[in-house]
Amino acid sequence: MTDISYFQAIVIGVLQGVTELFPISSLGHSVLVPAWIGGDWNKLVTQTSTKASEQSPYLAFIVALHVATAVALLWFYRRDWIAIISAFFTTLKTRRVETSTERLAWLIVVATVPVGITGLVLEHTFRVLFAKPGAAAAFLTVNGLILLLGEWLRRRSVASTQVLEPGATAHGTRKIEALSYPEAATIGVFQTFALLAGISRSGITMVGGLVRGLDHEDAAKFSFLLATPVILAAGILKVPSLFGAAGDHIHGQVIVGAITAGIAAYASVRFLTRYFTTRTLTPFAIYCLLAGVASLVKFA
């Protein structure tokens, strides 16, 4: 098996930290970028798409980067998470949901259940079947179309709104806390498609939020809040692999890559929370379509 160099650790760390939060698919890029570079980089990818991939150093390395990304998200939204966790335990004591923060806590729980169950059951199968350059290129192209469709549906919804929905503002948008539990569950189901390399977790959950009436800023925030427990739990479950054969000889690279990914993720979420106050998913959609089609031509 191919070990990971420190240079590769830094490059992949930056790639993970940025693409996990930008709506362009971190898993897709972790497959496609090494495949484009070729050589020893491409060998890293082939290790993760085999039945023996649980022993892959690259997969163990990616696990560490996911944990670092989740930690960066936790730190950025630390005040929100303190309030959300406190509200959650309050509802367990009172058996009532009374405040907007208490409702948000349960919306996150409801939206996390579908992807949690699906990830535990199908994550390895999906990676073996679809974490290949050709498949990743196809799904990245689909991701671009999903982002464009979300923007089109959002514009159509706002333009056709005659009566404000519950929780809506004067501009026809709703607040996160106004989502119903079935709507949160539906957005959670959307997250499961991010198990496919090329489909962005943040992108598809943002589209789900936009379709249900959130503005871009709130859709992004809800997406990042939803991503945190999923990424963290998935990473922690697989951390033991770092202490087995898969982690041999790469502990230094793991530390360097994780630090790099954490910094890149924090910078990304800081940028995106400002970006989505006034802008849309369209530039990311165009990028995914161009990158996806180019990769299809090369790898399909």
pLDDT over 50 (residue 121): yes
pLDDT at 199: 94
Mean pLDDT of all residues in 115-139: 75
Tokens of 180: 């119903």
pLDDT at 238: 74
What confidence tens digit (pLDDT) does each residue in 12-44 have?
999 999 999 999 999 899 889 988 998 888 777
Backbone angles phi, psi at 168, to 5 degrees: -80, 160
For residue 232, count CB atoms less than 10 angstroms from its CB and return exposed for 0-12, middle for 13-18, buried for 19 or more: middle
pLDDT at 162: 45
SS3 168: strand
CA neighbor of 5 nearest in space, from 262, 250, 260, 243: 250
To the question of pTM greater than 0.85 for the whole model, the response is: yes
pLDDT at 157: 75
